[in-house]
Structure 1
Amino acid sequence: MSFNRRAFIGTAAAAATLRAPMVRAGSHGKPRVVVVGGGAGGATAARYIAKDSAGEIDVTLIEPSRSYYTCFFSNLYIGGFRTIESIAHSYGTLASDYGINVVHDWATGVDRAAKSVALAGGGRVPYDRLILSPGIDFVAGSVAGWDLTSQNAMPHAYKGGSQTELLKAQILAMPEGGTFVMVAPPNPYRCPPGPYERVSMVAHVLKQSNPTAKIIIADSKANFSKQGLFEAGWEAHYPGMITRIGPDFGGENVTVNPAEMTVDIDGEVIEAAACNVIPAQKAGHIADLAGVTEGNWAPVNAVDMSSKVDPEIHVLGDSAAQGDMPKSGFSANSQAKVCANAVRGALTGSRVFPARFSNTCWSLIDADDGVKVGATYEATEEKIARIDGFVSQTGEDAATRKATYEESLGWYDAITSDMFG
């Protein structure tokens, strides 16, 4: 299967293109939708609502960054397969071609009674429907010795951009024979295969520039996504370089010392030439401020991604507790199309299609050695439920793995076009 823009967009049955037949407007005129967060969920939702309502809904997108760096494919930048510019995207087309009011500011609060969003720069933005897609934040204290003040010494690089560049620079600056340490996150977290693709890309770089270097993964999880595929790939491409320490061997008992660049794994202290700490994760902070989280995540109704706390607020992507879908860019994009269709229907009376969802996660292990896992899903009263799925197999031939990698390149072009126009 090859991915291109037309095929990718065509998979979203929920993304209706019928012209809205009527507008249910209050005294303020057009219905107003405010979207907080301009990533795979938020940008897609804003674009589809603006496009399919043909100007009959006012759409405001609140996003502090003027350039959005995708977290997906950032590992390929670390591995030298992409430039940093190739994963950067602007919001200009959303504003110029779709009439979206793009506000580059931080959302600092939500008044659900008044139905408005407060901005760091002052003022409030009113809404009839609010869509929150703020990505992730980190659980304080989840890695002993690490907090956000340590992110320059031990980057997380789990939000694309400057952190990704910093981590790559630290990897390239490692002394000969040095040790790279990753502290992997506990479930659930953004992009389940992401840490292990990152290890693959770090190994790819070190194999060329620092072949005696070692990689250690401290992991509190008993297993991880595509584990057999990664471990077979590591043995084939990077024999003897990568060691994973799981919970049976102390991988859940980790303390870091950023000042001294050491990592204590169950009493064994390791001097790290570079260290990637990926903490436990939770919904983006604005979801907490809006009062729609329970625990670390925001529970939603599968049929339209509406909050189980407030039906006029919708939560997409990484922040949502929705059921069986992984926290991935593909998932967020798929959820955004379902949400956009439902929101447009609620505000204008246009046709709402049954919710259907899909996801694929590609990973690159070495040059032209791509693997994938994916599934389709449906909305039930309880959750987004998995229907069926697929995964690459160990022992696939080189042509199949190369085709999988090339498929991922087509998908990247398709999803970023779908997000940003």
Structure 2
Amino acid sequence: MLKRRDFLKAAAVAAASSGALPGFIGHAAAAPAKARMHVVIVGGGFGGATTAKYLRMWGEGSVDVTLIERNPAFVSCPMSNLVIGGLKQLEDITVSYDNLKSKWGVKLITDDATAIDVAKRTVTTARHGTIGYDRLVLSPGIDFVASRIGGLEGNEERVPHAWKAGPQTALLRKQLEDMPDGGVFAMHIPRAPYRCPPGPYERACLVANYLREAKPKSKVLVLDANGEIQSKKGLFTEAFARYGALIEYVPNSALQSVDAASLTAELEFDSIKADVLNVIPPMRAGTIATAAGLPLVNDAWVDVDWLTLEAKGMPGVHVIGDALFPAPTMPKSGHMANQHGKVVAAAILNIAAGLPPNPAPVVMNTCYSFVDSKNVIHVASVHQFDAEKRQPMPVSGAGGLSAAPNEIEGKAALAWARNIWADMLA
């Protein structure tokens, strides 16, 4: 256990190691919590796991933390396209929760959270009954609305999304391996906002990279419901061009329905038959959030107070990560969820100590995308809370884009993954 005088230094070092700005942690350490509280966290991804660790670390064990997560280990969505492209194995992107339990004293419950009762301050689980809380942090990620695409619901094994890392990642990889040379890999990208804006375009590149080596007569068809590439447009346009006829990009391709038996995608004015059909469905906040009566924007994403990340009108219920209605230019990304986790941990500890939340939190994002086995591009941004607009706004002149794909950023991308997984779980 750290001595109190060493606490600020350790917290700043931990934040710096993951790229976080120390500007939003100062208030969390200003005073110890006056009384123990019990914080329940639903979802052990980039946001929830970070919140659990930092509540225990910054709070010096003064806050009891229970993390409810359905999966026995963390599987990273960032870097999962490398598995689909045959450059990594699933075990390479899987990290244990053991340190959260043994090192940080987090109580881990491997279960599904099925309901919350805001009035009673309880969470109901599928197998472990009802759990009470003083503060609740929901980090449920996204769920899919497959019903918006005719024929897709119930056919995800035949037409996988692989947009939640795990079994479907391995399934899509197997389908690629089984695809004949000369076959068509067709993927559909939903309308924004969706989780990880550059992710589909990275996937197209890595699938093309695999096919160029293993099945060079094949084709990658990118059907985008959006009018243009949603992230790193110029860089991905150039990357696609380098693959020549191997990648065809078709914008404004709204998907109407699929025929899972024949692997046919029905667009508004066209039908596409594929050998592998990868449909990323429309998304909304995880069901535990949308079913709980929390305030939603566009009936999809939770509206929050950005200083505490509490759902508006729902004191004591904090929502972080991909489930949020995003602030301007703020991506739905693993890095951003990690940043949300630190902001909410600081806010909760301040509340426990009778202090106001940090009035000007700063968060940042870096997103790396592989365009082949070695070359990578990135986009970075910094967002600071604007008191007048009551939300984070992009900081002018901060962040930016790669000049061109390069191998140095490939090494940086792999280091980023190792560092952020350690920041969450080590």
TM-score scaled to structure 2, two decimals?
Answer: 0.90
CA distance in 1, matches of 2:392, 2:211: 40
> What is the total number of aligned residue pairs between the two structures?
405
Partner of 1:366, secondary structure, is coil
1:262 to 236, 254, 264: 264
Mapped contact 1:12–1:337 kept (Cα < 8 A): no
Percent of aligned pairs sharing the same letter = 36
- After superposition, give the CA deviation of every residue in 1:325-367 in whole Å (9 maximum; x if it has no partner): 1000010001111111001110134685431110011101013
Pair 1:309-2:319 in alignment = no
2:179 to 174, 178, 187: 174
- After superposition, give the CA deviation of every residue in 1:127-182 in whole Å (9 maximum; x if it has no partner): 111000010001242323211x1110010000000010000110111012000110
CA distance in 2, matches of 1:169, 1:350: 53
How far residue 126 of structure 1 moved from its aligned partner, in angstroms, is: 0.9
Within a 5 Å distance, the mapping from 1:5-404 to structure 2 comes to: 7-9=16-18, 11-13=20-22, 14-16=24-26, 21-25=31-35, 30-147=36-153, 149-223=154-228, 224-236=230-242, 238-247=243-252, 251-294=253-296, 295-324=299-328, 325-349=330-354, 352-353=357-358, 354-380=360-386, 381-388=389-396, 389-393=398-402, 396=404, 401-404=406-409
CA distance in 2, matches of 1:81, 1:370: 14
Q: Which amino acid aligns with 1:385?
A: M
Indicate how the Cα distance of structure 1 residues 273 and 5 shifts in structure 2: closer, same or farther if over 3 A, else same. farther
CA distance in 2, matches of 1:185, 1:357: 26
Mapped contact 1:300–1:322 kept (Cα < 8 A): no
Mapped contact 2:75–2:94 kept (Cα < 8 A): yes
How far residue 265 of structure 1 moved from its aligned partner, in angstroms, is: 2.9
How far residue 290 of structure 1 moved from its aligned partner, in angstroms, is: 2.3
How far residue 17 of structure 1 moved from its aligned partner, in angstroms, is: 9.3
Mapped contact 1:20–1:53 kept (Cα < 8 A): no
Name stretches of at least 5 consecutive residues in structure 2 with no aligned partner.
Answer: 1-12
Give the number of the structure with larger relative contact order, counting CA–CA contacts within 8 Å between residues 6 or more apart: 1
CA distance in 2, matches of 1:312, 1:372: 36
1:417 to 411, 418, 422: 422
Q: Which amino acid aligns with 1:304?
A: T
- After superposition, give the CA deviation of every residue in 1:50-88 in whole Å (9 maximum; x if it has no partner): 111111110000001001211111011112222211111
Q: Which residue of 1 aligns with 2:7?
A: none
CA distance in 2, matches of 1:97, 1:59: 13
How far residue 10 of structure 1 moved from its aligned partner, in angstroms, is: 5.5
Q: Which residue of 1 aligns with 2:5?
A: none
Mapped contact 1:31–1:347 kept (Cα < 8 A): yes
Name stretches of at least 5 consecutive residues in structure 1 with no aligned partner.
Answer: none
CA RMSD of the aligned region, Å? 2.0
Partner of 1:94, secondary structure, is helix
Mapped contact 1:305–1:316 kept (Cα < 8 A): yes
Q: Which amino acid aligns with 1:23?
A: A
TM-score scaled to structure 1, two decimals?
Answer: 0.91
CA distance in 1, matches of 2:241, 2:141: 33
CA distance in 1, matches of 2:295, 2:96: 29
Pick which of 380-389 and 323-332 moved more: 380-389
Mapped contact 1:68–1:89 kept (Cα < 8 A): yes
CA distance in 2, matches of 1:115, 1:138: 27
Q: Which amino acid aligns with 2:300?
A: N
Q: Which amino acid aligns with 1:217?
A: V
Q: Which amino acid aligns with 2:64?
A: D
Partner of 1:108, secondary structure, is strand
Q: Which amino acid aligns with 1:50?
A: R
How far residue 288 of structure 1 moved from its aligned partner, in angstroms, is: 1.6
CA distance in 1, matches of 2:316, 2:339: 20
Indicate how the Cα distance of structure 1 residues 19 and 6 shifts in structure 2: closer, same or farther if over 3 A, else same. closer
Partner of 1:240, secondary structure, is helix
Q: Which amino acid aligns with 2:251?
A: G
How far residue 194 of structure 1 moved from its aligned partner, in angstroms, is: 0.3
CA distance in 1, matches of 2:268, 2:292: 39
Pick which of 5-14 and 157-166 moved more: 5-14
Q: Which amino acid aligns with 1:8?
A: S
Q: Which amino acid aligns with 1:99?
A: G
Q: Which amino acid aligns with 2:33?
A: V
How far residue 385 of structure 1 moved from its aligned partner, in angstroms, is: 1.3
Partner of 1:291, secondary structure, is coil
Indicate how the Cα distance of structure 1 residues 6 and 120 shifts in structure 2: closer, same or farther if over 3 A, else same. closer
